[in-house]
Amino acid sequence: MSSADPVVAIVDEPADPDAPARYVVGPSARGPWDEASAHGGAPAALLARAVERRAGEGQRTSSLSYTFLGPVPIGEVEVRTRIVKPGSRLQVVHAELHAAGRVAMEVQAVVLRRGDVPLPAGIGMPWPELPPPEGLAPTRSWFLPEDATAFHPTAMEIRVAGAPLAEPAPGGRTAWLRLRVPVVADETPTPAQRTVAAADFGNGLSAPVTFADYLFVNCDLHVALHRDPAGEWIGVRARTELHRAGTGLTTSELHDAAGRFGTATQTLYVERR
């Protein structure tokens, strides 16, 4: 991992899981739309971590459904969690990120037990693999100055297969992404944290229009994982469809070196600049 600062810093993280925890979202979380606000992948990873802290022994995060209620600022935020449905087989956890006296982002997560279920031969065969990240060149930021501190390229490394990111991708685009810094200091990001941080890039990777001419901001992020990914790299094969009503949908396949492990969707607010 890079020696750069983590995405967020812990201010106060009480032992009581029902008590609010406070963090500072750092400059390496900055997003493409507003220099004072975070990229969605950064707070998404923080909330995934909050969900995992509430999960029981032998449980894994299976799905996360985020709603973006407003910008997440660079600066201090508060995270609150509660268990909506307890259970050893299936548990539902709700987490909220508060900033400046409002809820800026929330997630509802399904947490399942880790089992050992015998399956018939041929079940779970891998999907067609993506071209591996090794050999692909790191991609410079296509929406910020090269020396800017932001989620990409400071905290996230992206390697694109195919046309440069500055070009529209009406047919979709494939890329590999990995966190270069911890979500919080002295912790290795978990598979779920790596996944949601990468999945939130789907609409930017596969935009069929240019950043210079359009806004296409995702209003939510839904991630479902039928297994945990292995390794640092998350492969995203994304496609975005837009409509003249000013809305859009991004659908992303999520891969690791062994093949597909999940799916992500984002609904978009679309406007000409």
The boundaries of the domain holding residue 75 are 8-114+142-272
| Segments of the chain with pLDDT less than 70 | 1-3, 124-127
Q: What pLDDT was estimated at residue 79?
A: 98
Collapsed DSSP state (helix, strand, coil) of residue 153: helix
Instruction: Establish if 62 belongs to a structural domain.
Output: yes
4 contacts 182 by C-beta, under 8 angstroms: no
Collapsed DSSP state (helix, strand, coil) of residue 18: coil
What is the four-CA torsion angle of 170, 195, 184, 76, rounded to 10 degrees? Answer: 50
Question: Residue 247: which CATH number?
Answer: 2.40.160.210
Instruction: Establish if 156 belongs to a structural domain.
Output: yes
Note the pTM of the prediction, 2 decimals.
Answer: 0.93
198 token code pair: 């990468």
Report the alpha-carbon distance of residue 185 to residue 2 in Å, rounded.
12
Q: Which residue type occupies 62?
A: S
Q: What pLDDT was estimated at residue 252?
A: 98
Instruction: Establish if 264 belongs to a structural domain.
Output: yes
Q: What pLDDT was estimated at residue 139?
A: 87
Name beta bridge partners: 173. 238
Instruction: Establish if 72 belongs to a structural domain.
Output: yes
Could you tell me which of 22, 21, 41, 46 has the C-alpha nearest to residue 30? Answer: 41
262 contacts 254 by C-beta, under 8 angstroms: yes
Q: What pLDDT was estimated at residue 126?
A: 67
Q: What pLDDT was estimated at residue 104?
A: 98
Structurally, the chain folds into a number of domains equal to 1
Could you tell me which of 254, 251, 242 has the C-alpha nearest to residue 210? Answer: 242
Report the alpha-carbon distance of residue 233 to residue 157 in Å, rounded.
9
